[in-house]
Amino acid sequence: MTLQILDRPITKIGVIGSGQIGPDIALHFSKVFTPQGVPVIVVDVSREALENGRKKLDRKVDKGVESGAFTVDAGEAMKGNVTFTDDYQQLAGTDLVVEAATEDSNLKGKIFNQLTAIVSDGAILCSNSSHLEPEVIFGGLEDPSRSLVVHYFFPAERNPVVEVVSGAGSDPGLGRAVMGFYEEIGKFPIEVGSRYGYAIDPIFEGLFLASALLVEEGKGTSKEVDAVACKTLGYTVGPFTAMNLTGGNPITDVGLGNYTSRIMPWYRSPQILKDAVKNQSRWEVPARGEGVEVEPERSALISESLLGAYFGIVGEIVDSGISSVADLDMAVEIALDMHAPFRLMNRIGLEKSLGLVENYAAKNPGFSVPLCLVEQAGLGEPFPIATVFRWDREEVAIVCIRRPRALNALNEATFEEIKQHFLDIAADDSVIGAVLTGYGVKAFASGADVGFLAKIDSKEMGEKTSSGSQLSIQAIEDCPKPVVCAFNGLALGGGNEIALACNARIAREGLKVLAGQPEVNLGIIPGGGGTQRLPRWVGIEKASELMRTGRPVSSSEALRIGLIEREVPGSKEQLLSTGIDMVRAAVAGETPLPEIQKGPIQVPEMLPEVDLGHLSRMVDGILSRAILEGCRLPLKEGIAFEARMFGEVCATRDMNIGIQNFLEKGPRHPAPFIHS
């Protein structure tokens, strides 16, 4: 599979800079592209930096081999696929270059002017800048249309978030194309408007500033503030520890100084940071595993200050229009490894959150209270945080489930968003059909969020929960326009049930695990229509075997049994294009899509025997009844019967055992069912 950006195949990649982050960027590229035979070239003018960069990359690959992440052969291939050189001419023929040199606009400008004479015409030129606007970096290029910023986060080979920042001169389609490319190679990109510092660094550096001011004012030591920040904001490591790990003092000093005039006057480099840069000193922070006791009153003061600063900073970014609530909430949680800001405000309560910001602003001149928080608090409703997105292409709506940290698992809000999107599509005369897919390349939807299922505490609540999910899924089936499900990755449980409501399903070729109904492993049964739709698509014998054992199928088996219409080779973009073509062909009457049997279907008196192994016989009995009795009814009546059976299973002891086992031990440990 050859990946492309704006129809340009990526056959050779360059990375400029072998310092703090360049080798890590090269490592990620090598991990993805070595199997495809795409070489990676790292260029730096310093021989010492090149040697250190090579050692760093090799060390990380070797550690991956030791942990079992890579085989020995794969590790050696990855290392051999990266060339470290001081010869810029080795970048000749590159299709994609990521510059990761020092944060200096003049240096970056010189690098890109030099590159244009070396790389192929139309090569994609990216800067891993952390602050500088693309207009500043690429302003000297005769043709900046194939240039933009891609901002990685520490550590670049593992942190999946990438900010994609187009400039005024960037091709209008470049940002979306680069977003698709990074999603394809396993990153979580967000598109950000052009402004100094972009969206995430003002949060990282702003919270460091808020922390440093607390230390300057004697409200706590750097150790104490770090400890309270971890407890309050959910940091894995506190702001001072993070600064030590990333070597971020110098660049943060510069960034905070520039934010003063470019974002709001509160931002500035505090004196203790200036001193640390001058003395090249590190912050005193808690040692690994060290507990830091902070007096309760002092802890409360630090906590309230940090929350007020946090909520004000993220709100200002939304007010600026460079990013959205949903994008910031996802990216900050993952990139900075802390509580998602808008979900945290929703949990605390917006009135209280606004009060924290107003108190912080009153004590800190130049700090602004964001309008988005004022308005949302005035509505008396939590921030809406989208997890399902729609965009239209060629008169076809593309609906995408995006909860990447949870492998696109489904919760109540996600089900509700899916329903609303398909109601909107049904009423929208500008679209002729839809393609339903998931974000990323690992999962279409990994099932219902188990935390969501764990809240069920009665038969009645179980039936209500199942019925609610079914209503959302029914909106897909009831859509009067053709709907194709594009399996970008695995679909389990509720994820597969959503797909079953579509007119047809297609999948990426070669997926070893594509789809399944593994509910029995949790001590429950399918509750989103799976017991009724799966038999109607693949036959009752095969469907019952898959549901009763929880066994998943590969994409090739799914094709063989009729679960999917075809396997699609290539990238996710090719998968979506195939889905769009199928919708258009169906509307034109050229290739009609299959229709599910809406009436009863013929079923045996009893289901064939299967080996249940450790699985609950009590749950199997309820599941078998749901399949047999439900399939003797018209589809909608059978689905309603399934909801009643889901309620029945929620009253069993095995359901509680299965859910708790999953939450405590994970999916690899079989639940100790007692068959009651």
- In the sheet that holds 147-152, the strands lie side by side as 82-85, 40-43, 13-16, 96-99, 124-127, 147-152, 161-166, 188-191
Task: Please choose, from the candidates 24, 41, 35, the residue with its C-alpha nearest in 3D space to the C-alpha of residue 73.
Answer: 35
315 part of a folded domain:
yes
Question: Residues 491, 566: one domain?
Answer: yes
Average pLDDT of the segment spanning 131-144: 95
Question: Residues 243, 355: one domain?
Answer: yes
Question: Residues 235, 308: one domain?
Answer: yes
Active site residue 358: no
533 part of a folded domain:
yes
673 part of a folded domain:
no
- CATH (domain of 168): 3.40.50.720
Residue 1 pLDDT > 80, yes or no?
no
Q: Which of 379, 408, 434 corresponds to the end of one domain?
A: 379
Residue 355 pLDDT > 90, yes or no?
yes
Q: Which of 316, 349, 379 corresponds to the end of one domain?
A: 379
Question: Residues 131, 253: one domain?
Answer: no
pTM: 0.93
Q: Confirm if 189 and 164 have CB atoms less than 8 A apart.
A: yes
61 part of a folded domain:
yes
Q: Which of 191, 209, 229 corresponds to the end of one domain?
A: 191
532 part of a folded domain:
yes
339 part of a folded domain:
yes
Residue 407 pLDDT > 90, yes or no?
yes
Active site residue 416: no
Question: Residues 342, 445: one domain?
Answer: no
The active-site residue, picked from 224, 333, 463, 497, is 497
Question: Residues 185, 225: one domain?
Answer: no
Average pLDDT of the segment spanning 604-612: 93
pLDDT digits (tens, 9 = 90+) for 173-189: 999 999 999 999 999 99
Q: What is each CA distance from 428 to 396, 431, 478, 554, in whole angstroms?
A: 11, 6, 14, 35
Identity of the amino acid at 307: L
- What per-residue confidence (pLDDT) applies to 414? 95
Residue 288 pLDDT > 90, yes or no?
no
Question: Residue 385 has which token pair?
Answer: 């945080």
Task: List the helix and strand counts (H, then E) for the chain.
Answer: 27, 19
The active-site residue, picked from 224, 519, 565, 648, is 519
Confidence of residue 60 (pLDDT cuts 50, 70, 90): very high
- What per-residue confidence (pLDDT) applies to 347? 97
**Domain count along the chain:** 3
- What per-residue confidence (pLDDT) applies to 2? 81
What distance in Å separates the CA atoms of residue 117 and residue 142, rounded to the nearest whole number?
A: 11
Question: Residues 537, 576: one domain?
Answer: yes
Confidence of residue 668 (pLDDT cuts 50, 70, 90): confident
Residue 320 pLDDT > 90, yes or no?
yes
Which residue blocks in 434-493 are alpha helix, DSSP H? 450-454, 459-477
Average pLDDT over the chain, rounded to whole?
96
Residue 397 pLDDT > 80, yes or no?
yes
Identity of the amino acid at 70: F
Q: Confirm if 457 and 502 have CB atoms less than 8 A apart.
A: no
Question: Residues 256, 374: one domain?
Answer: yes
Question: Residues 282, 236: one domain?
Answer: yes
Question: What is the span of the domain harbouring residue 446?
Answer: 388-665
582 part of a folded domain:
yes
Q: Confirm if 358 and 369 have CB atoms less than 8 A apart.
A: yes
Q: Confirm if 445 and 438 have CB atoms less than 8 A apart.
A: yes
- CATH (domain of 501): 3.90.226.10
Question: Residues 374, 394: one domain?
Answer: no
Question: Of 246-250, 272-276, 568-572, where does mean pLDDT reach its minimum?
Answer: 246-250
Q: How many CB atoms lie within 10 A of CB 272?
A: 15
- CATH (domain of 273): 1.10.1040.50
Question: Residue 246 has which token pair?
Answer: 């990333």
675 part of a folded domain:
no
pLDDT digits (tens, 9 = 90+) for 430-463: 999 999 999 999 999 999 888 878 888 899 999 9
- What per-residue confidence (pLDDT) applies to 120? 83
Question: Residues 121, 252: one domain?
Answer: no
* % the chain with pLDDT above 90: 94
What distance in Å separates the CA atoms of residue 124 and residue 12, rounded to the nearest whole number?
A: 11
Average pLDDT of the segment spanning 474-482: 97
**SS3 of 275-338:** HHHHHCCCCCCCCCCCCCCCCHHHHHHHHHHHHHHHHHHHHHHHHHCCCCHHHHHHHHHHHCCC
Question: Residues 231, 352: one domain?
Answer: yes
Q: How many CB atoms lie within 10 A of CB 311?
A: 24
φ and ψ of 224, to 5 deg:
-65, -45
Average pLDDT of the segment spanning 529-546: 97
